[in-house]
Structure 1
Amino acid sequence: MAAENNTMDESMLRIAMCDDDKMDRERVHGLVTDYLKEKNLHAQVKVFDHPDSLLEECEHFRPHIYILDIVMPMVSGIQAARELRWNQPDAQIIFATSESSYALESFDVNPINYILKPIDKEKLFATLDLALTHVSLGKEKSTTIKVRGGFRTIHLDDILYIEYRNHVVSYHLDSGEIVSPPTLRIGFSEYLDENHPGKEFVRCHESIAVNIAAVDKLTKTDITLRNNENLPVSKSRYAEVMDSYMDYRF
């Protein structure tokens, strides 16, 4: 389905809508457009007619706000929201549906509101107002690292993991790119303490620190990342990784 503003701007509000009904989809899209104009907000808006395309593209688009129909083919809006929640626990989810019977089940994914069709303009606008109070625009965390010829700023959300080999640190990005600072004169632990003192990265192996937000699945021996890449988990580090993972998810 149509996508607007294909180049992602990390400082701009991002909204995704999904509804298999063309008339409902166009109405919600029109209301969101009116809302943005009324509030003088700039946003990247993407509209989807099938949950499969929503899930595939939003893994990288990573909207701040989702507006989802519930009754859709193959994958319901609630099932889609569960998958989206897994990698975006802070996303604001709004259900817009003709079915009231799913209201109780929807609480499983902690939506900000459950609006029945036909969508009321005032109710949607008030819900978007509330959603925006939970969105931090332009404040995505980033790190600036020294690279050959200068410096590079990378959003933490784009980093899957950091690897250390032969005194060289490599940042493995969601795009597939690998960025490396010059050869280190300090150890990996000291580098992480100096450059990543927060809780975003956890050592899963002596030579690997994983971005906990990029973890899709964790076992006692392996981590599966959101791009389906696998990383090893050291036996001695499993408990720390599990604690960080549970803290982040729940």
Structure 2
Amino acid sequence: MDNKDLIGDFGLRIAICDDDKSDREKVNALLQEYLEGKSIKALVKILDHPDTLLEECEHYRPHIYILDIVMPMVTGIQAARELRWNQPDAQIIFATSESSYALESFDVNPINYLLKPIEKEKFFSTLDLAISRVESEGDKTVCIKIKGGIQTLRLDEILYIEYRNHVISYHMDRGEVISTPSLRIGFAEYLAENHPGKDFIRCHESIAVSIAAIDKLTKTDITLRGGEQIPVTKSRYSDVWDRYMDYRL
């Protein structure tokens, strides 16, 4: 897949977090040079504290994180553990002046551990690998029938699928709802034919939720990224819990 295809309309999101202003600026300058050289458009968020990182990225949800390790109150590795819980597929790059944390960093499966001052060639090759992994995740799509034709949807943009009055509606993460024409088959049969994998699970008789979109799960409700809540029936809670924990861990 061409990088331009993946990140058209600023689909790629990157976060830099470093408490040192000079280092933040150097990392961002290298990142911008890389993006410009590859003709890649991306939204880049620059943060100076891990607490701000965790708060803002809960909704911003970057594909790639570039993190310092030695920061006030919370280390970059501790922040990465929190990020891993909500975003198992995020690509994490550590950029630090301390070599002593390299072994500990393996706990969060970073894509690389770069020592400052960062070597441009190593940084660029690391970004190549990170983006290739983002691309492989972004390749997952589904084609659905809509009135007048067929539409392709990216699975990572679907929050949940709803069945009502013989119509299937896909609720997307940007608030859009995309619906099929009236169907002659039931919800279970539709899911078996169109979503046979583990990306979605029924949490209600008429709702199947994207496992990757779950931010919080209780015995009665699921909170999705973005804050929307949907119900979980008592009979389906155990299955949703098991699938959710398999995905997170």
Q: TM-score, normalised by structure 1?
A: 0.79
Aligned residues: 243
Residue 247 of structure 1: how far off its partner (Å): 2.5
Counterpart mapping for 1:133-144 below 5 A: 134-136=133-135, 139-144=138-143
Residue 213 of structure 1: how far off its partner (Å): 0.5
> Which ranges in structure 1 are unaligned for 5 or more consecutive residues?
none
* Contact 1:12 1:42 (C-alpha < 8 Å) held by counterparts: no
Residues 248 and 75 (structure 1), Cα distance of their counterparts in 2 relative to 1, 3 Å cut:
same
Counterpart mapping for 1:226-237 below 5 A: 226-237=225-236
What is the rounded CA distance, in whole Å, between the counterparts of 1:215 and 1:61 in structure 2?
A: 13
Please state if 1:147 is matched with 2:140.
no
Matched residue, 1:106: 105
Matched residue, 1:32: 31
Matched residue, 2:123: 124
Matched residue, 2:87: 88
* Contact 1:16 1:47 (C-alpha < 8 Å) held by counterparts: yes
Residues 227 and 58 (structure 1), Cα distance of their counterparts in 2 relative to 1, 3 Å cut:
closer
Counterpart mapping for 1:42-81 below 5 A: 42-44=40-42, 46-50=44-48, 51=50, 52=52, 56=56, 59-60=59-60, 62-63=62-63, 65-72=64-71, 76-81=75-80
**Cα displacement string for residues 146-183 of structure 1 (whole angstroms, at most 9, x for unaligned residues):** 33344332211111111112222221111122222122
- Tell me which moved more, 165-174 or 183-192: 165-174
* Contact 1:164 1:188 (C-alpha < 8 Å) held by counterparts: yes
What is the rounded CA distance, in whole Å, between the counterparts of 1:189 and 1:35 in structure 2?
A: 46
Question: Secondary structure at the residue paired with 2:24?
Answer: helix
Question: Secondary structure at the residue paired with 1:161?
Answer: strand
What is the rounded CA distance, in whole Å, between the counterparts of 1:71 and 1:138 in structure 2?
A: 30
**Cα displacement string for residues 99-131 of structure 1 (whole angstroms, at most 9, x for unaligned residues):** 445445433322122223222334434433544
Q: Which amino acid aligns with 1:213?
A: A
Matched residue, 1:162: 161
* Contact 2:15 2:47 (C-alpha < 8 Å) held by counterparts: no
Residues 91 and 237 (structure 1), Cα distance of their counterparts in 2 relative to 1, 3 Å cut:
same
- Tell me which moved more, 112-121 or 124-133: 124-133
Q: Which amino acid aligns with 2:214?
A: V
* Contact 1:12 1:138 (C-alpha < 8 Å) held by counterparts: no
Q: Which amino acid aligns with 2:150?
A: F
Matched residue, 2:196: 197
Residue 231 of structure 1: how far off its partner (Å): 2.3
* Contact 1:167 1:185 (C-alpha < 8 Å) held by counterparts: yes
**Cα displacement string for residues 188-218 of structure 1 (whole angstroms, at most 9, x for unaligned residues):** 1111112212211111111110001101122
> Which ranges in structure 2 are unaligned for 5 or more consecutive residues?
none
What is the rounded CA distance, in whole Å, between the counterparts of 1:13 and 1:178 in structure 2?
A: 22
Residue 239 of structure 1: how far off its partner (Å): 3.0
* Contact 1:14 1:43 (C-alpha < 8 Å) held by counterparts: no
Aligned-pair Cα RMSD in Å: 3.2
Residues 228 and 101 (structure 1), Cα distance of their counterparts in 2 relative to 1, 3 Å cut:
farther
Question: Secondary structure at the residue paired with 2:182?
Answer: coil
Residues 236 and 58 (structure 1), Cα distance of their counterparts in 2 relative to 1, 3 Å cut:
closer
